[in-house]
Amino acid sequence: MDSATLTYDTLRFGEFEDFPETSEPVWILGKQSNALTGKAEILSDITSRLWFTYRKNFQPIGGTGPTSDTGWGCMLRCGQMILAEALIRKHLGRDWRWESGKRQRDEYTSILNAFIDKKDSYYSIHQIAQMGVGEGKSIGQWYGPNTVAQVLKKLSVFDTWSRLAVHVAMDNTVIIEEIKRLCMPWLDFDRGARAESQEMNGYAEGACALPQEEAAVWKPLVLLVPLRLGLSDINKAYIGTLKQCFMMPQSLGVIGGRPNSAHYFIGFVGEELIYLDPHTTQPSVEPCESGRIQDESYHCQHPPCRMHICELDPSIAVGFFCQTEDDFDDWCMHIRKLSGCREGLPMFELVDSQPSHLTNNEVLNLTPDFSESDRLERFFDSEDEEFEILSL
């Protein structure tokens, strides 16, 4: 097997014993740990996250395209990681842990198979790259956080096993009514019209009624919020609020990075962000006939990477997962508390229904991936040259 190409970022922090000896809490995706007494648990938690990196020698994308994503696929891999975390939450739970050499549950194998570098995997680099063409990205071109969020939303429709409701909140606004309609679409169904239709067609009473158990089901929500937290550097007024997002039990982390480099941020300690780095080129992996996968390379087993929060590029997407309606209501309560906090600026607005100023389709499609001049104008010319902070 070819050796992996490791980056400086991947290796620069040495052994896990170099993790800061601090009494400050370590937050990983909504869970708090102690660096002095819980290093083993912190490492186990981080290692259990699915780690997607550059790969080489996979099937050509589109049949004749690239066989490696080295140099251009870092944000796509970060998108895979944040969505994989949502699938783990849904099918395995937040407390699930991966162990090297241990046979895993069938659900884990199904999740990993959804991301394998093959054209028929739901969330493969092939599917993301080809779906990105519809978002104006040619195959092999780098993405911004908003673009990858939009692509993941489109791909999730084909994942009938997970039945996720993926919502990308635009214009820095999360609209509760939109999300509840997405996660419980039957609430908008005209039951009177349904009953009348059944009677006209001679159906027995209740024969086609929505099953009671289905009516109570909430489609698990993946909420992605693309944001711009400054122009060229992150506005320090947002730092406290950003940290709070990692502390919420619904946290899926953040995709973003620094100039020339995209990362998947999963937590923080003090003023340092903890992240998984996709900039490691590894050979592609083929599943066995049984569907099992040699999965060692999909779990980062070296010390976690860290960087000062002020180094973060202001173009990011924050992710949250709400398994139930109660989870979503609890998340709304957390966000409203943050909005009233004086220690930092709110990163986005939470509203009950669509504000009147968001009725224009152009505004609804506002993206943090556009040029500096576009970002300064509420309405923009969609033909202006597009700009990505996280270029390669």
pLDDT tens digits, 281-296: 999 998 887 778 899 9
Pick the residue with more confidence: 204 or 261?
Answer: 261
Average pLDDT rounded to a whole number, residues 299-311: 92
Single-letter code of the amino acid located at 327: D
pLDDT band per the 50, 70, 90 thresholds, residue 374: very low
DSSP assigned state of 299: S
Q: Given this model, what pLDDT does residue 205 score?
A: 38
Share above pLDDT 90 across residues of the chain, in percent, rounded to a whole number: 66
pLDDT at residue 306 tops 80:
yes
Pick the residue with more confidence: 201 or 168?
Answer: 168
Distance CA 236, CA 230 (A): 9
Question: Where in the chain does DSSP place strands (E)?
Answer: 25-28, 31-34, 55-56, 165-168, 173-175, 221-228, 251-258, 261-269, 272-276, 282-283, 305-308, 315-322, 349-351
Name which of 20-24, 114-118, 203-207, 381-385 the model is least confident about. Answer: 381-385
Whole-angstrom CA distances from 1 to 57, 202, 284, 330, 374 are: 12, 66, 10, 47, 47
Average pLDDT rounded to a whole number, residues 269-276: 96
The residues, any chain, with a CB within 8 Å of residue 87's CB and separated by 6 or more, are 111, 114, 162, 164
Pick the residue with more confidence: 69 or 21?
Answer: 69
Beta bridge partners of 9: none
* Contact indicator for 298, 54 with CB cutoff of 8 Å: no
pLDDT band per the 50, 70, 90 thresholds, residue 12: very low
Average pLDDT rounded to a whole number, residues 122-144: 93
The radius of gyration computed from the CA coordinates of the chain, to the nearest angstrom, equals 22
Reported as a single tens digit per residue, the pLDDT across 98-108 is 999 899 999 99
pLDDT at residue 346 tops 60:
yes
* Contact indicator for 66, 53 with CB cutoff of 8 Å: no
Mean pLDDT of the chain: 82
pLDDT at residue 369 tops 50:
no
What sign has the CA pseudo-torsion 319, 322, 327, 329?
A: positive
Q: Count CB atoms within 10 A of the CB of residue 219.
A: 16
Direct distance between the N- and C-terminal alpha carbons of the chain, in angstroms, rounded to an integer: 27
Distance CA 382, CA 391 (A): 20
Distance CA 1, CA 100 (A): 19
Average pLDDT rounded to a whole number, residues 123-128: 97
Reported as a single tens digit per residue, the pLDDT across 169-224 is 999 999 999 999 999 987 754 444 444 434 444 433 333 444 444 445 899 999 99
For 188, counting Cβ atoms within 10 Å of its Cβ (0-12 exposed, 13-18 middle, 19+ buried), the class is: exposed
Average pLDDT rounded to a whole number, residues 158-169: 96
What sign has the CA pseudo-torsion 349, 364, 84, 266?
A: negative
Q: Given this model, what pLDDT does residue 219 score?
A: 96
Pick the residue with more confidence: 265 or 392?
Answer: 265
Q: Given this model, what pLDDT does residue 18 score?
A: 65
pLDDT at residue 4 tops 50:
no
pLDDT at residue 111 tops 80:
yes
Q: Given this model, what pLDDT does residue 185 score?
A: 86
Q: Given this model, what pLDDT does residue 256 score?
A: 96
What sign has the CA pseudo-torsion 150, 156, 157, 163?
A: negative
pLDDT at residue 375 tops 70:
no
Q: Given this model, what pLDDT does residue 216 score?
A: 55
Tokens of 267: 């937590």
What sign has the CA pseudo-torsion 260, 136, 127, 265?
A: positive
What sign has the CA pseudo-torsion 181, 183, 185, 188?
A: negative
Name which of 336-340, 350-354, 361-365 the model is least confident about. Answer: 361-365
Q: Given this model, what pLDDT does residue 355 score?
A: 74
Among 228, 231, 246, 239, CA closest to 344: 239
Active-site annotation, residues: 74, 277, 279
Average pLDDT rounded to a whole number, residues 231-245: 94
Provide the residue ranges of all domains of the chain, joining segments of one domain with +: 35-189+212-375
Residue showing tokens 């019209």: 193
Q: Given this model, what pLDDT does residue 382 score?
A: 29
For the entire predicted model, the pTM comes to 0.83
